[in-house]
């Protein structure tokens, strides 16, 4: 019987679906497996449902001798060595589309929270400091009519940009190639990174982590931004040089930041926790009941595709088909 290991409990919809087709084993504990535990449980499995904080590398593949598919429970797959997977003819799949709106919505939550100083103001109110309306209490930044800079206009970046419709914003974006449909629909303008950083009031990052995007935003880029600008990152932490960001926030080179991801998760640069002009969330971009349910179903469908001899529907290492 086809054997699947699921490294963390995920919504039951996907698990129930899997159980109709194969033997399913799930990490019973609500914690990540230690590396040696992980390597032990995957030994005899045909499929593994992995999390974005688990390294899937040559050692992993070497250990899981029967492995046919790694179904990552995430849209990002920078935790997986695709070359090794393809070399060993192992499918790698991710969970695109089903978490696009959830992640774009969280980017907006961060944008507004940072712009209107929601966390600071909430803390102030809880601490009993609210003594009545005051003309200078927690002034923030307006959003309507401002310029939105979208770095990386694929699924999530485009969804994020489209959600700005009611706020009548000018949209600038960077991407590998111009996106005609997207421009038609939103009036977005394709620019280079320097122009985007110089002209945007809000800059939101939506690129995957690759060698090319690591530290895409560093000291030089932060200096290009307006002093009144806000940086949002719901993509991957290492896209931003976290040290440089801390300095920019401390020196008020930019107004604020909203972060859901960090350079060395789960570690967070200590100073970030002491700054008022940054909102820090624990990597919850796709964390809605709806998105997580649909992600669990999608990982199951990909595995079932393999069991039934089809190409998995959201295959990442497509070059495996050519070999
Ligand atoms: C979350 O970060 C994901 O890649 O799905
Ligand atoms: C990820 O889903 C992206 O394409 O932005």
**What separation in Å is there between the alpha carbon of 207 and the centre of ligand 2?**
7
pLDDT (0 to 100) of residue 208: 98
- 76 CB less than 6 Å from ligand 1? yes
Ligand 1 atom 1: residue of nearest CA: 74
* Both tokens assigned to 154: 């694929």
Summarize pLDDT for 195-248 with one digit per residue, the tens: 999 999 999 999 999 999 999 999 999 999 999 999 999 999 999 999 999 999
Q: Whose C-alpha lies nearest to ligand 2, atom 3?
A: 155
* Average predicted confidence (pLDDT) for the chain: 98
Instruction: Give the pLDDT confidence of 258-271 residue by residue, as tens digits.
Output: 999 999 999 999 99
Active site residue 283: yes
Does the ipTM exceed 0.85? no
Mean pLDDT of 52-72: 98
DSSP 56: B
**Residue 287 dihedral angles phi and psi, to the nearest 5°:** -85, 65
Convert the pLDDT of each residue in 133-142 to its tens digit.
999 999 999 9
List residues near ligand 2 (CB under 6 A). Answer: 75, 96, 100, 154-157, 206
Q: Which helix (H) or strand (E) covers residue 160, if one does? A: helix 155-162
Closest ligand (CA of 292):
1
Length of the chain: 323
Q: Which ligand is nearest to the CA of 206?
A: 2
Active site residue 265: yes
Residue of 155, 265, 271, 293 marked active site:
265
- Percent helix, strand, coil in the chain, to 5, is 40, 15, 45
- The 69-72 sheet, strands edge to edge: 23-26, 3-6, 47-50, 69-72, 91-93
What's the whole-model pTM score? Answer: 0.97
Residues 6+ apart with CB under 8 A from 127: none
Q: What is the pLDDT of residue 103?
A: 98
Q: Which of 236, 242, 263, 292 is catalytic?
A: 236
For 50, 140, 180, the CA distances from 27, given in Å and listed in that order, are 11, 45, 45
Strands (E), the chain: 3-6, 23-26, 47-50, 69-72, 91-93, 147-151, 170-174, 189-190, 202-205, 230-233, 256-259, 278-280
Give residue 274's Cα distance to chain centre.
24
What does the pLDDT look like over 175-198, one tens digit per residue? 999 999 999 999 999 999 999 999
Task: Specify the DSSP class assigned to residue 209.
Answer: P
pLDDT value at position 44?
A: 98
Atom number of ligand 1 nearest to Cα 73:
5
Nearest to 8 by CA among 27, 35, 36, 22: 27
pLDDT band at 9 (very low <50, low <70, confident <90, very high): very high
| Residue 181: alpha-carbon gap to chain centroid | 24
CB 75 within 8 A of CB 95: yes
pLDDT score, position 238: 98
Per-residue pLDDT, 101:
98
Whether the pLDDT of residue 323 is over 80: the answer is no
């Amino acid at each position: 019987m086809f054997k699947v290991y699921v490294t963390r409990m995920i919504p039951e919809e996907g698990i129930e679906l899997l159980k109709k087709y194969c033997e399913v084993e799930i990490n019973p504990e609500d914690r990540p497996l230690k590396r040696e535990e992980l390597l032990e449980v995957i030994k005899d499995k045909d499929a593994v449902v992995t999390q974005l904080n688990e390294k899937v590398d040559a050692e992993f593949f070497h250990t899981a001798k029967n492995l046919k598919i790694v179904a990552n429970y995430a849209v990002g797959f920078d935790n997986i060595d695709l070359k090794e997977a393809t070399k060993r003819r192992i499918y790698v799949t991710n969970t695109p589309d089903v978490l696009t709106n959830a992640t774009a919505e969280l980017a907006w939550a961060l944008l507004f929270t940072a712009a209107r100083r929601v966390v600071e103001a909430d803390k102030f109110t809880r601490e009993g400091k609210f003594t009545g309306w005051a003309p200078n209490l927690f002034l923030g930044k307006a959003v309507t009519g401002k310029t939105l800079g979208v770095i990386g206009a694929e699924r999530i970046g485009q969804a994020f940009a489209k959600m700005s419709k009611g706020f009548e914003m000018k949209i600038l974006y960077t991407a590998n190639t111009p996106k005609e449909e997207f421009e038609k629909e939103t009036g977005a303008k394709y620019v280079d990174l320097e122009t985007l950083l110089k002209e945007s009031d809000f800059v939101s990052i939506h690129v995957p982590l690759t060698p090319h995007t690591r530290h895409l935003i560093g000291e030089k880029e932060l200096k290009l931004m307006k002093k009144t600008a806000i940086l949002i990152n719901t993509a991957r932490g290492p896209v931003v040089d976290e040290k440089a960001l801390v300095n920019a926030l401390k020196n008020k080179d930019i107004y604020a930041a909203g972060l859901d991801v960090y350079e060395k998760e789960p570690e967070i640069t200590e100073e970030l926790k002491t700054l008022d002009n940054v909102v820090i969330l624990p990597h919850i971009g796709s964390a809605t009941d709806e998105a997580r349910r649909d992600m669990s179903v999608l990982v199951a469908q990909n595995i079932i595709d393999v069991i039934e001899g089809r190409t998995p529907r959201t295959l990442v290492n497509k070059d495996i088909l050519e070999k």
